[in-house]
Amino acid sequence: MGQFFLVIYAISGFAALSLEVVWTKLLAMVLGSSTYAFSIMLITFLLGIAGGSAISARLVDKKKNVLAFFVATQILIGVFVILSIPLFNGLPSLFFGLLRKYNQSFWGMQLMQFFVSSLVMLVPTLLMGAAFPMAVKIYKSAKVGARVGDVYAANTIGGVFGSLMAGFLMIPLIGMQKSILISAILYFLVAVIASRKLKITFFGLALMVLLGFFFKLDKSVLTSGVFFHGDTYLKEQIPGEIIFYKEGQLGTIAVRRYPDGELILQTNGKVESSTHGDLDTQLLSGHLPLLFRPDAKNALVIGLGGAFSLGAVEQHQGLAEIDAIEIEPAVIEAAYLFSEFNNNALEDSRLNLIIADARNYLLASDKKYDVIASEPSNPWIKGMGNLFTKEFFELAKSRLKLGGIMGSWIHLYSMNESDLKITLRTFQEVFPHTAVFINLSSTDLLLIGSEQELVLDYGQLVEKFEEENVRNSFSRVYIKDAATLMGYFLMDETAVGEFSKGAPLHTDNHPILEFSAPKSLYLNTIPTNLLALREFQSSPFSALTVEDSAAEDKIEGYFGFRQAILGAEMYYFQGKFDKSVASFEKALFYDPDNERLKERLVETYNILGRTYINLGNREDAKEVLKKSLDINPIQPEIDRLLELIEGRK
């Protein structure tokens, strides 16, 4: 075959590397997008190729008709590639079962990820590797003076083009399922061309390709986020209805609608925005920096999501210009579905929407802002850690005007105390004047930083809440006035410094979080973090000037509200539901109209009631469940439980 065989083998390389790209993207929706998960996928792929080559090299010289064996490998690869489509649909359930059974250690998690990756990739890659020694022998027998390097080069060149085409053209244009089918067809094509001198049945290959078109990737299952939202997966199997789905260059974006009307936006299965659970963090991310800079004329929002933070920023009418950066175009398309909830954020005439990488944009632009609000995804996700490094914060600071304000965030869930301290220390290293707020459910921290002292004027804060747009936006998360807002203030710069003292810095050269944060992904870290943070709470007056004594008393009351909330959530995540109920009741005393707080109390009442039932304590269960119904009378399931307890049925 000579030179023509090199072309054939280049096609095989094209198919192999395009498959690696597609399989990796699909596996990321099952295993997650951490550095470790991607490393495991790559290890599996390379191990298969190396193992296949090693085995084949020992056997190839003993075989007479090597061409027939080469053709067989290409056909078998194509068959296994097609079968990987239905296999992917079962992986989330399998992985979740493994998580529930064997999630005991970080290394145990790596073994589970390797096992799941192997189910998809190991057999096909063993065959890919086995084909290489065969290809070398076929080429050498066809051409005098042929070199192994020629075969390797042809396959590599094909692989380079395969990875480029898959990532930049095939997936965005035709999707992952059809990309898999094209790769399978290419393997069958290689087999057909290479077997011109062999008698093989083409009917079977054609039938296999046809069968491939009947297999469908289950979008609902694959985007369920089982690697992170396993509890939801267990309760509801396939939660919500998918109303938007797009396979972008940088991730698979989906929007789900729940029966109660809640919308969530997901990237590779991970929830990034929602109209309910994440709403307070999203709105506070937009509002807080602007409250510290009420005279701001322009602002930059990094990360779009459902455009909630952007929508919050736009409620401040003093802004003349608003820039927003989003790296994935599919997210922008999805954000339009949230228009009803984000105040039509994408339609604001002041908005300049930029599709770019945030760091590259800031490096290339010399534009300066009064406020930068950054809300990237979690730092355990590969690539996100670079928006939490010292160098990134320094870059952002260089794009702030004198007295400009930087806003960022960090989560308390799946984040151990050491990593939390690293994040706060790194932020304060660049912005010495730092203030920290906490969201209502005590799962996220909002970081505010500046080179100048951070002090809120209570009078100006009250004036802000007199602006209808701002007041209405805050009311969506049950913050009714300036005093209520200060109930979310957690730490001043002194407390932040004491809390994070001695922690190392997260830098570009030493990206600690990218490698340490994934290790806490399945740990219940909220109680530990809240317990640690409670010791460093600051008085809201350390970041506030107040001249009204009545206002001081009101703010002092919300300081008690915050302490009660921290205790309630800490006890909740510790499983001490009786103590959690007591703290939630105390918090509700301070803010009796807070509907979100009532929801949390009802939820905790119900868990405590079921716990009492399991312990055989029917009287306490009855008392607790009746309290739950007093707050929310429409709970058929709780009604039935009470009927059983009271013997009415």
- Tell me, what's the pLDDT at 142? 59
Tokens at residue 562, please?
A: 């915050």
Domain membership of residue 497 as a residue range: 272-537
Residue 544 lies in a domain: no
99 confidence band (pLDDT: 50, 70, 90): confident
pTM over 0.85: yes
The three-state DSSP-derived secondary structure of 316-379 is CCCCCEEEEEECCHHHHHHHHHHCCCCCCHHHCCCEEEEECCHHHHHHHCCCCEEEEEECCCCC
Q: What CATH code is carried by the domain that includes residue 145?
A: 1.20.1250
- Tell me, what's the pLDDT at 197? 57
The pLDDT of 526-547, averaged and rounded, is 93
205-225 pLDDT, tens digit each: 676 777 777 889 989 888 888
199 confidence band (pLDDT: 50, 70, 90): low
The pLDDT of 1-13, averaged and rounded, is 87
- Tell me, what's the pLDDT at 214? 81
- Give the amino acid at 441: S
CA 242/CA 34 separation, integer angstroms: 24
Q: What CATH code is carried by the domain that includes residue 443?
A: 3.40.50.150
Same domain, residue pair 303 and 354: yes
344-402 pLDDT, tens digit each: 999 999 999 999 999 999 999 999 999 999 999 999 999 899 999 999 999 999 999 99
Same domain, residue pair 277 and 262: no
Same domain, residue pair 451 and 584: no
239 confidence band (pLDDT: 50, 70, 90): low
- 502 pLDDT exceeds 80? yes
What percent of the chain shows pLDDT beyond 90?
76
Mean pLDDT of the chain, nearest integer: 91
235 confidence band (pLDDT: 50, 70, 90): very low
- Tell me, what's the pLDDT at 200? 58
CA 270/CA 273 separation, integer angstroms: 9
557 confidence band (pLDDT: 50, 70, 90): confident
> How would you classify the pairing of strands 433-438 and 351-355?
unpaired
- 302 pLDDT exceeds 50? yes
Contact 18, 165 (CB under 8 A): yes
- Tell me, what's the pLDDT at 42? 96
Same domain, residue pair 180 and 305: no
Residue 550 lies in a domain: no
CA 531 to chain centre: 25
Same domain, residue pair 236 and 295: no
**What single DSSP character describes residue 271?**
E
Phi and psi dihedrals of 371, rounded to 5?
A: -140, 135
Residue 114 lies in a domain: yes
323-350 pLDDT, tens digit each: 999 999 999 999 999 999 999 999 999 9
- Tell me, what's the pLDDT at 579? 97
386-425 pLDDT, tens digit each: 999 999 999 999 999 999 999 999 999 999 999 999 999 9
- Tell me, what's the pLDDT at 234? 47
Residue 383 lies in a domain: yes
Same domain, residue pair 302 and 264: no
The pLDDT of 30-38, averaged and rounded, is 93
Residue 628 lies in a domain: yes
Cβ within 8 Å of residue 407, ≥6 positions away: 285, 288, 289, 371, 372, 373, 374, 375, 446, 447, 448, 449
Range with top average pLDDT, 136-150, 238-252, 498-512: 498-512
Please name which of 378, 381, 369 lies closest in space to residue 408, comparing C-alpha atoms: 378
Same domain, residue pair 357 and 504: yes
- 70 pLDDT exceeds 60? yes
643 confidence band (pLDDT: 50, 70, 90): confident
CA 407/CA 425 separation, integer angstroms: 15
**What one-character-per-residue DSSP string does 509-570 give?**
SS-HHHHHGGGGTTS--HHHHHHHHHTT---GGGGEE---HHHHHHHHHHHHHHHHHHHHHH
Cβ within 8 Å of residue 114, ≥6 positions away: 40, 43, 44
CA 557/CA 492 separation, integer angstroms: 19
Q: What CATH code is carried by the domain that includes residue 635?
A: 1.25.40.10
> How would you classify the pairing of strands 263-267 and 321-326?
unpaired
- Tell me, what's the pLDDT at 303? 96
Angle value at C-alpha 201, between 196 and 204, nearest 5 degrees: 130
11 confidence band (pLDDT: 50, 70, 90): very high
> In the chain, how many domains are there?
4
Q: Which residue has the higher pLDDT, 145 or 151?
A: 151
The pLDDT of 16-38, averaged and rounded, is 95
- If you compute the radius of gyration of the chain from its CA atoms, what whole number of angstroms results? 29
- Tell me, what's the pLDDT at 145? 52
- 201 pLDDT exceeds 70? no
The pLDDT of 276-283, averaged and rounded, is 92
- 144 pLDDT exceeds 50? no
- Tell me, what's the pLDDT at 228? 77
314 confidence band (pLDDT: 50, 70, 90): very high
Same domain, residue pair 186 and 307: no
Residue 223 lies in a domain: no
Same domain, residue pair 510 and 589: no
Tokens at residue 57, please?
A: 């090299």
Residue 378 lies in a domain: yes
Same domain, residue pair 206 and 263: no
- Tell me, what's the pLDDT at 238? 55
Q: Which residue has the higher pLDDT, 94 or 447?
A: 447
Any idea which of 102-111, 197-206, 275-284, 600-609 has the lowest mean pLDDT? 197-206
Q: Which residue has the higher pLDDT, 591 or 126?
A: 126
Range with top average pLDDT, 189-203, 284-298, 476-490: 284-298
What percent of the chain shows pLDDT beyond 70?
95
Residue 240 lies in a domain: yes
Same domain, residue pair 58 and 171: yes
- Tell me, what's the pLDDT at 227? 82
Contact 410, 444 (CB under 8 A): yes
Cβ within 8 Å of residue 445, ≥6 positions away: 409, 410, 411, 412, 424, 436, 437, 438, 439, 490
Contact 298, 323 (CB under 8 A): yes
Same domain, residue pair 241 and 334: no
- 263 pLDDT exceeds 60? yes
